[in-house]
Amino acid sequence: MTLPAFKGTDRPRVYDRRDVRDDLLTQFNGAVAFLKRHLNVRGEIRGVNREDIYEIPLEALREAVVNALMHRDYGITGTRLSVEVYDDRVEIVNPGGLPNGLSIREFGTVSIRRNEVIADLFFRPRKVERIGMGIQKMKEVMIAAGLREPSFEPDGFFRAVFHRSPEFAMKEEVTTRGDTRRETEETREMILGLIRANPGITRVEMAEKIGLTMKGIDWNISRLKKAGRLRRVGPTKGGNWKAEEK
């Protein structure tokens, strides 16, 4: 499985990539972790608990990844399943079109499992429902979140496309009834702390350690620079960060 994240809305500029060459459950978990790292997220305090709200519901994306692993045509050699993150969408692409016996007209209403053993593998840990209503479930989850339905292209390679929410773009603050400023300041202090400990740290490493998307890291770094609390010493590649005191 290939997990690339692209800068922009096309493929030339890759800023992060992971390759998972392991069992299918590990591939599933790796894909979900990659999506969580690169999607924008906000937090809401409900009662005494904080709940993360992703710009694309994880329930829909998990269902899409499971479906891709289950219905991939493993007889097509030299290809990989891929989970691709762009600025405006997420695409989950797996080798193989519709299974034999399933027409485009029936797509989404009739379930034909291409790989019975793999389907059972995901059913046991309850990663998927046996009734095979994954397409309908994805659509319902997206609509319930106020988002566009995902689109599906079943020719040759099966492609599921989920459009990202513009309202989340460049927003990493936590909406906690007045605590947004405090949460944002804590995030920036964490960035400065990581830089003081390792001036050569990369933005990808910051994102992984803090749990933000790359956009969130970039957004906070730009604010720290404007505030005079952070500057870059040397070239973009090979240089170091310099954290300034208040």
CATH of domain 180-243: 1.10.10.10
- Cα(127)–Cα(121) distance, rounded to whole angstroms? 9
- Cα(186)–Cα(204) distance, rounded to whole angstroms? 19
Burial class (CB in 10 A: 0-12, 13-18, 19+), 113: middle
Express each pLDDT in 87-139 by its tens digit.
Answer: 899 999 988 766 665 656 655 555 666 656 676 666 665 555 545 567 888 88
CATH of domain 2-168: 3.30.565.60
Express each pLDDT in 29-70 by its tens digit.
Answer: 999 999 998 998 877 666 666 778 888 999 999 999 988 888
pTM exceeds 0.75? no
Express each pLDDT in 165-222 by its tens digit.
Answer: 766 654 444 343 334 455 577 788 889 999 999 999 988 888 888 877 777 888 889 8
Among 213, 195, 192, smallest CA distance to 204 is for: 213
Residue 86 has pLDDT above 90, yes or no: yes
- Cα(170)–Cα(38) distance, rounded to whole angstroms? 12
Domain with CATH 3.30.565.60 in the chain: 2-168
Domain with CATH 1.10.10.10 in the chain: 180-243
